[in-house]
């Protein structure tokens, strides 16, 4: 990799760090190609990205970003999972780590808040942004649904009474 390629790589990583909501650092402990492919697929399905980056370039890229505190985690064979959704990357990595011992969660950050491995696992246990939106919509719609049911209930009861009288008369 020549100097211009390194500069491009640092610029791309810096752009990623300025856009994302969470960064999770993992250490690969001899994952097979199949395991790595499965992990990348799981992370992609969650709406996150997973990149193996040279530690020295990643350390240059996090300068002047909210993620400057994670440079202690960038040692050894590491990879970086990122997502705009504050929970997606953490959830995907933690779920995959439960299935194999070939990946270790080193730590991460959510904005300027640095998280250790247990912090990343706690973050992964939270509902995702889409799940929170669905719950909020459900809470907003519930009163409207109940009002509609109450408005139609008297008419339905009246129709049942008339049907009962009609059956009785026949």
Overall domain count for the chain: 2
Which of 78, 76, 94 is closest to 13 using CA atoms?
78
Instruction: For residues 46 and 77, state if they share a domain.
Output: yes
pTM of the model: 0.73
Angle between helices 88-97 and 117-124 (to 10 degrees): 110
Instruction: For residues 104 and 46, state if they share a domain.
Output: yes
What's the domain range around 74? Answer: 3-126
Q: What is the pLDDT along the chain (170 residues), one digit of tens a residue?
A: 788 888 989 899 889 888 998 999 999 888 889 999 999 999 999 899 999 989 999 999 998 888 888 888 998 889 999 999 888 899 999 999 998 888 999 999 988 889 898 888 988 888 777 777 888 887 777 776 666 666 666 767 767 777 877 787 76
Q: What stretches of 84-136 adopt beta strand conformation (E)?
A: 103-110, 113-116
Distance of CA 132 to the CA centre of its chain: 12
Residue 115: other Cβ atoms inside 10 A: 23
Instruction: For residues 97 and 120, state if they share a domain.
Output: yes
């Amino acid at each position: 990799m020549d100097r211009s390629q390194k500069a491009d790589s640092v610029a791309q990583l810096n752009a990623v760090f300025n856009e994302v909501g969470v960064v999770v650092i993992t250490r690969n402990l001899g994952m097979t190609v199949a395991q790595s492919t499965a992990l990348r697929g799981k992370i992609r399905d969650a709406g996150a990205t997973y990149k193996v980056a040279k530690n020295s370039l990643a350390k240059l890229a996090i300068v002047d970003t909210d993620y400057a505190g994670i440079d202690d985690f960038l040692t050894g064979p590491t990879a970086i999972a990122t997502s705009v959704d504050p929970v997606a990357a953490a959830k995907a990595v933690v779920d995959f780590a439960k299935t194999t011992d070939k990946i270790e969660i080193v730590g991460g950050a959510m904005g300027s808040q640095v998280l250790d491995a247990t912090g990343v696992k706690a973050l992964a246990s939270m509902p995702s942004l889409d799940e929170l939106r669905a719950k909020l919509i459900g809470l907003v719609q519930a009163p409207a649904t109940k009002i509609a049911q109450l408005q139609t209930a008297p008419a339905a009861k009246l129709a049942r009474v008339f049907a009962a009288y009609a059956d009785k008369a026949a």
